[in-house]
Amino acid sequence: MDKAVEPSSSSQWLLRMLSLPRRWRFGVAPVIAGLLLLAIVLATILAPLYVTHDPLAMQATKRLQPPSAEHILGTDPFGRDMFSRVFYGGRVSLLIGVGAALVSVTLGLFIGLIAGFFRTADAIIMRIMDGLMAIPAILLAIALVALSGASIGSVIIAITIPEIPRVVRLVRSVVLSAREEPYVEAAISLGSSMPKILLQHLMPNTMAPLIVQGTYICASAILIEAILSFLGAGVSTEIPTWGNIMAEGRSYFQLNPGLIFWPGLLLSLCILSINLIGDTARDLLDPRLKKREA
């Protein structure tokens, strides 16, 4: 069966306008996802320019107000403006997502290159990775935060560690197949230094799958941050994140569902867009993966 993605007729004009090469023609969904993500990222980064209330300013007389002209999304249990909290909260959530993706991809790449190339290190590293993968990600993250405190940095580390084994396995499998290629054997026989072989010949092979994996990690990191905050193991509520805004709203959910709905909506749209972009990137970069995992 033909696996090529046919663009729907509604998106034809857009693709013709962009005159993309045929293999770049995908449906309109990833384009919308990209624009949506861009909008969310800009809205959160530029929040200080247009938000009218301080996200931390408490007003005891204005607790849990319904949406009004002054407070577009109402106020939270401490009388803080929900609209500004939701957009300020996105900054930290996105920072944690991108941070966790970068750190886990970098560390995973490094460990994976070593595991893929050196047989002796491989056995040890992969057993450790098996052990890490046997621990449910959320519980491992919880334990790490419980031990190291809940700053933004330690939350990023706590989310990163459970993700590393997946990156390592990916990089290792790419290296294992690439190291048998003639050009790598040639480099070895010419006496190239080990770092040079690893970085110059093997690493480029891992880039495409790593970019895809990175987008998925970014999405899942934003989700896990929300869950950690919800469980009380997240960043202090002094720094609003989508997760801890929802966590604070849970006791008042029946009075004002917006406390969970608005940050939840923004977070879900954001993750949805990142996942769709990741799926598209995977299909474009590796047609074989698409066939296997669709």
Partner 1 sequence: MFGYIIRRILAIIPVLLIVAAIVFLMLRLSPGDPAAILAGDAATPAQIERIRTELGLNEPLHVQFLTWIRQLLQGDLGTSLISRTDVWTMIERRLDPTINIAILTIIISVLLAVPMGVLAAWKHRTWVDYLVMSFSVLGFSIPVFVIGYIFIGIFSLQLRWLPVQGYTAPSEDLWGFFQRAILPSLTLATIYIALIARMTRASMLEVLNEDYVRTARAKGVPERDVLFRHALRNAAVPIMTIIGIGFALLIGGVVVTESVFNIPGIGRLTVDAILARDYPVIQAMILLTAGIYVFVNLLIDLSYSLIDPRIRY
Give me the residues that bind partner 1 (CB under 8 A), please. 1, 127-128, 130-132, 134-140, 142-144, 146-149, 219, 223, 226-227, 230-233, 243, 246, 250, 253-254, 257, 260, 264, 267-269, 271-272, 275-276, 279, 291-294
- What does the longest C-alpha to C-alpha distance in the chain come to? 77
Residue among 120 and 189 whose Cβ is closer to partner 1: 120
Residue among 178 and 233 whose Cβ is closer to partner 1: 233
Which residues is 285 bridged to in the sheet? none
Q: Considering the complex, what minimum distance in angstroms separates the CB of residue 276 from partner 1? A: 7
Residue among 109 and 277 whose Cβ is closer to partner 1: 277
Q: Considering the complex, what minimum distance in angstroms separates the CB of residue 277 from partner 1? A: 11
Residue among 41 and 143 whose Cβ is closer to partner 1: 143
CA dihedral 147, 226, 161, 92 (to 10 degrees): -90
Give the integer Cα–Cα distance in Å for 80 and 75.
5
Task: Give the helix, strand, coil percentages of the chain, each rounded to 5.
Answer: 75, 0, 25
Which residues have CB under 8 Å from 23's CB, separation 6+? Answer: 284
Residue among 171 and 267 whose Cβ is closer to partner 1: 267
Task: Please answer whether residues 241 and 229 qualify as being in contact, where contact means their C-beta atoms are separated by less than 8 angstroms.
Answer: yes
Q: Considering the complex, what minimum distance in angstroms separates the CB of residue 64 from partner 1? A: 16
CA dihedral 251, 253, 255, 257 (to 10 degrees): 160
Measured over the CA atoms of residue 186, residue 190, residue 196 and residue 197, the dihedral's sign is positive
Q: Considering the complex, what minimum distance in angstroms separates the CB of residue 101 from partner 1? A: 16
Residue 81 backbone dihedrals phi, psi, to 5 degrees: -70, 120
Q: Considering the complex, what minimum distance in angstroms separates the CB of residue 220 from partner 1? A: 8
Residue among 46 and 123 whose Cβ is closer to partner 1: 123
Q: What is the DSSP letter of 75?
A: B
Q: Considering the complex, what minimum distance in angstroms separates the CB of residue 224 from partner 1? A: 9
